[in-house]
Amino acid sequence: MSGTKLKSVLSSFSQVPRELEPLPSDRHSLDDSCVRLNTNENPFPMPEVVMQSAIAALEQQYLYPEHDNISLREAAADAYGLTKDQVIAGNGSSELLGLIYRAFLAPGDSVAMLSPGFSFNRKLAMLQGAQFLEIECGQSDVLPVEELLSGPAEGAKFILLANPNNPSGTFVPVAEIERLAAQSDRLIVLDEAYVDFAPDNGLRLIHHYPNILLLRTFSKSYAAAGIRIGFGLGHPEIIGRLRNIQNVFNMNVIGHAVGVSILAHRDAYEENHRHIKRERERVSFALSQLGFCVTPSHANFLLARVPAGRNGRWWQQALERRKVLVAVFSEPCLNEHIRISIGTSAQMDILLSEIFKVVNDPEQ
């Protein structure tokens, strides 16, 4: 009886939810003793002044957060040289990505992204019944403008660019993105989640190109992944449409307070950023000495092709047995790669020590 009822319920869904596979319920919780280098987190504590803002916000736990995130949007506007109507705030940039798909895509539409890229975009497109176009990039630090403007991508409702890119860590000169924005009349979603580790950013493009929608997050460079703070920056007409469909009270009082405090104390994170850049170069060199081929990175992670004879999944499992977690990907072009987040010096020393052991005794 229950099986028949469930089948009836599922058959009543539209095509897209019917195609969704249920997530497995047997996922195991993370072992706290593991060195987590698989999710691009920033492992450093918050500056004391930011931590105090979070503690103070707990005293308002009985209140709903501010509607429309007005104070946080005003703080971001002041920090980035914009008006509050050019800013939307969200639970990390991932919430804002979801809003963009809901607002600007209808069933049968298409969206284009450079490949390889952030794989969650595939699911977001599927949920809207849209076609997801992945444009191969011949040179990782050169934007294929012509391919994004013509061919299969010509009819895409918007173009997704991550700069620096995830999972490669590569960075495209902002002038290339400006060239695309100038030649295209479509929306360009520029995801700058890792931009604080890069040599430049696209913020200035907002003032000249209404088709640029820029995303920022405090999860990576400001060590607030667990609090979920993100921003969309762009033309008031675009931003206003996104705010209009955003969930009421979408952020909590702690996220508001921490976001405002980070924006006021960004200089307190400069040593954090310098450390990650130094470790990125040190670990990249050490990995190359151990037989890995490392893609030059401008993010807080490294994409490394593993030594010949084993694939990325084998290396992930070998390191996990040694309580070091790294990321792998399903794309065929990344089959022989692992992605390694940059953490503390001590974490990176453990990583390199365990990789050295595996290289010298792979059967251990």
Report the CATH number at residue 111.
3.40.640.10
Domain boundary among 223, 242, 264: 264
Diameter of the chain measured on Cα atoms: 62
Residue 16 within a domain: no
Residue 235 has pLDDT above 60, yes or no: yes
What is the pLDDT at residue 364? 58
What is the pLDDT at residue 152? 85
What is the pLDDT at residue 96? 96
Residue 6 within a domain: no
Residue 157 has pLDDT above 50, yes or no: yes
Domain boundary among 209, 244, 264: 264
Mean pLDDT value across the chain: 91
Q: Within 10 A of 296 (CB to CB), how many other CB atoms are there?
A: 15
pTM of the model: 0.92
Residue 1 within a domain: no
Confidence of residue 136 (pLDDT cuts 50, 70, 90): confident
What is the pLDDT at residue 153? 87
Domain shared by 183 and 285, yes or no = no
Domain shared by 205 and 69, yes or no = yes
Confidence of residue 195 (pLDDT cuts 50, 70, 90): very high
Average pLDDT over residues 124-146: 83
Residue 332 within a domain: yes
Domain shared by 236 and 287, yes or no = no
Domain shared by 100 and 235, yes or no = yes
Domain shared by 108 and 154, yes or no = yes
Residue type (1 letter), 283: V
Residue 22 within a domain: no
Domain shared by 205 and 290, yes or no = no
* Cα angle, residue 240 at apex, residues 242 and 90 outer, rounded to 5°: 45
HSE-up of residue 217 (Cα within 13 Å, Cβ side): 26
Which tokens hold the place of 53?
A: 């803002």
What is the pLDDT at residue 297? 96
What is the pLDDT at residue 3? 72
CATH no. for residue 352?
3.90.1150.10
Residue 5 or 160, more confident: 160
**DSSP one-letter string for 108-176:** T-EEEEEES--THHHHHHHHTT-EEEEEE-SSTTS--HHHHHSGGGGG-SEEEEESS-TTT-----HHH
Which tokens hold the place of 350?
A: 């453990």
Average pLDDT over residues 85-109: 95
Domain boundary among 264, 282, 299: 264
Residue 180 within a domain: yes
Domain shared by 70 and 170, yes or no = yes
Residue 9 within a domain: no
Residue 24 within a domain: no
Q: Which domain holds residue 346?
A: 29-45+270-360
Confidence of residue 1 (pLDDT cuts 50, 70, 90): very low
| 3 state DSSP class of 165 | coil
Query: What's the rounded Cα separation, in Å, for the pair 136 and 116?
Result: 7
Average pLDDT over residues 349-361: 95
Average pLDDT over residues 203-213: 96
Average pLDDT over residues 99-120: 91
Residue 25 has pLDDT above 70, yes or no: no
HSE-up of residue 305 (Cα within 13 Å, Cβ side): 8
What is the pLDDT at residue 253? 96
Domain shared by 279 and 238, yes or no = no
Average pLDDT over residues 301-321: 96
Percent of the chain past pLDDT 90, that is, above it, reads 78
pLDDT tens for 47-76 read: 999 999 999 999 999 999 999 999 999 999
DSSP 218: S
